[in-house]
Structures are given as structure tokens and as C-alpha cells.
Amino acid sequence: MSQAAERLRLLTGHLDRAPAVVATRTSAPTSALHPHKFRYTLDNDLLKPEERLFYEQNGFLLVKKLVADEAIDLFRKEFERICKREVRIPGLIVMRDITIAKSEFVPDQKAITKIQDFQDDPELFRYCSLPQILKYVECFTGPNIMAMHTMLINKPPDAGKKTSRHPMHQDLHYFPFRPADRIVCAWTALERVNRQNGCLVVLPGTHTGTLKEHDYPEWEGGVNKMYHGVRDYDPQQPRVHLEMEKGDTVFFHPLLIHGSGMNKTQGFRKAISCHYASSDCNYIDVKGTTQENIENEVKEIASKKLPEAVGITFQDMWAFRGRLVKGEKRIL
């Protein structure tokens, strides 16, 4: 047993009596963890034993004030420039809320709910290479790190149809690479996020389950493109609302069931995120699996936008956007 594991084993007796609370729970803890076995974290010098245990049991870890205000202000400014079309970034996907998309188009940030794939925007991509983020990421992925998926989310004030909600889902549904345990998302609040403006909601412990079937939820007011939801999760299951301050960052496992609520305020709730994976991960074929529906949808959208994309595989699409941020490029 490694020294770190031994330290953790000794600490567990203490934790059994006084569990470390890393994020506020709104309900009871889930699965018990055998103190000797680590599956979701790697040996490292960064995570305190109680943090490591928390991630192992819950599938997420919230770190306060990890990103400085100055960096955040630069990301926000770049987002404004993109919205005003002052900069054009190759490959960037710009998404609009379905209720806004149907209304008159205004070329500013009020029209845009999310941008994806900013790997070729040096300003925004700095987020993915921040050393303080990568230090944590390495605890989950190991030393060879690819930034695979980037997003800046600008959750709009809800227009009354509840379309600002993000259905509960597992991010692994979108990814044709494995193993899941060597993938992690970093999600940083670009301002205070709370229940009013639609913070993240997570179901602790669900990362220990399997990938579930996903599809569009049957919501009356409609649902945004590619916002698939888990079909059969138990709505009574304990949930945690992750209220965060500007710069706070949550790291979470790709099987963790999560989503976000309606934005009941008049402001836009902003967050930036990156999914990282070990470059030792392998691409998988998702044909015949629950992920086939998202593969087909992504390929259809890509071929509409870019007729030359016909014939490009789902795995190739991921390989184009992946960028090495630390260590060596291997398989991914």
C-alpha cells in the first residue's frame, strides 16, 4: 500500500465519526467506500485525504477560488467580442436558446446561450491550460492530459418556457472514448451561481453506476438542441445544488448525473468548462450502444453545416478538437 493510501486508511476512522463536508449536502450521503481501494483518483500529493475520499464517494469535488478574477474578466471580455462578431474563431459552435433563436436576432450576448469548441481561440483556451486547474485534473487523468471539449455557458434569463434548464444527464453519453474514470470535467463559475440563476445540480454517488440511456426530455416548452437527458433516473434521489462564487471550480466524473435549473433572474449566468481525458484513453465504437443516437445526431448536424464532413467518423470529430495540454500525446 502506498504511503498516501496508508495515511488515508488511518484517517478513515476519524472521518467515519466526523465526515468532511466539501460541498453542502441537501440530503444523505450515498455509497460507502472501502478505505483501501481508490478507483476514481490516482495517487497524488495535492488532494487532502478527505478531498480524495469525497471524490471517490460522490464523484465531484468543489475547490473554492481556484481561478483569479483577472483571468475571468479576460474570458468574459473575449466572450463579448465573439458575440459582437469582433473576432471569428474557426470551428467554434455558437448555440442559441430555442426561444431566443425563434425571436428577432440581436448580434450580442443576449442571443447566445453557449459556445463550444473554443480550442482555437488562444484567449479562451488559456482556461484549459491554467496550471492550478491542471494540477487537480492530473489527480483524475494522470500526467498525459488532453483537453477534449470546451464550453462557455451563458444561461439566459428564462423566457417563461423553462428552456433555460439543462436536463439531468451524464457527460459520458457524448464521448466515444474510455475509460470513464480517466476523464474529468472542470467547470468554473464566472460569477456567483446559485439556485436563483440556475446553478449546477448533481446526484452524488451516481458516478459509480453505468452509462444510462439518454434522449430528449418531453418538456412542454421544448428543449435545446443536443440537450439529451437521462431517461430513467429517480427524481427522489438525493441531490446537491452547487452554489458557487466567481472563480470556484468543480471537478466531476463523466458518469455523475447532473444538470442545471431554470434561470429565474434577469441576468445571464456564465460558466466556463473543459472536459479533460488521459491521452492514454482509447476511442470506442458506439454503434449498437446507447450512444448511437448522439453519434447520429452529431454527424447529421456536422454534414448539414459542412457537406465535406460526410464520411468523417464520430471519433475523428473528437480527434480534431482534442489538444494536448500536459505530458505526452499517446492514443487520443
Question: Which residues are at the interface with ligand AKG (CB under 6 A)?
Answer: 151, 153, 155, 166, 171, 200, 258, 260, 271
**Least separation in angstroms between CB 48 and ligand AKG:** 26
Residue burial 155-165, b: 16+ Cβ < 10 Å; e: rest: bbbbbebbbbb
Helix and strand numbers (H, E) in the chain are 8, 16
Q: How far is CA 269 from the centre of its chain?
A: 15
CA 127/CA 140 separation, integer angstroms: 18
Give CA–CA dist 96/109, Å, rounded.
10
**Whole-number minimum distance, CB 266 to ligand AKG, in Å?**
17
Rank residues 92 and 151 by Cβ distance to ligand AKG and give the closer one: 151
Dump strand ranges (E) for the chain.
Answer: 60-63, 93-95, 114-116, 145-155, 166-169, 177-178, 183-189, 200-202, 214-215, 229-230, 240-242, 249-252, 258-260, 269-278, 282-283, 323-326
- The CB-nearest residue to ligand AKG is 260
Q: Distance between CA atoms of 110 and 133, rounded to whole angstroms?
A: 29
Interhelix angle 314-321/292-305, rounded to 10 degrees, is 70
CB of 253 to ligand AKG, least distance (A): 13
Indicate the residue among 35 and 259 with the shorter CB distance to ligand AKG. Answer: 259
Please identify, using beta-carbon distances, which residue of 182 and 275 lies nearer to ligand AKG.
275
Task: Kindly tell me which of 63 and 271 has the beta carbon lying closer to ligand AKG.
Answer: 271
Residue closer to ligand AKG (CB basis): 38 or 175: 175
Q: Pick between residue 153 and residue 281 the one whose CB is nearest to ligand AKG.
A: 153
Rounded least distance, CB 273 to ligand AKG, Å: 7
Containing 125, the helix (H) or strand (E) segment is helix 122-125
**Cβ proximity to ligand AKG, 47 vs 153, nearer residue:** 153
Q: Give the residue among 261, 213, 208 at the shortest CA–CA distance from 233.
A: 213
Least distance between ligand AKG and beta carbon 297 (Å):
15
CA dihedral 166, 170, 176, 181 (to 10 degrees): 140
- To the nearest whole angstrom, how small is the minimum distance from the Cβ of residue 7 to ligand AKG? 34
For Cα atoms 282, 285, 289, give the angle at the middle one, nearest 5 degrees: 125
Residue 138 or 171: which CB sits closer to ligand AKG?
171
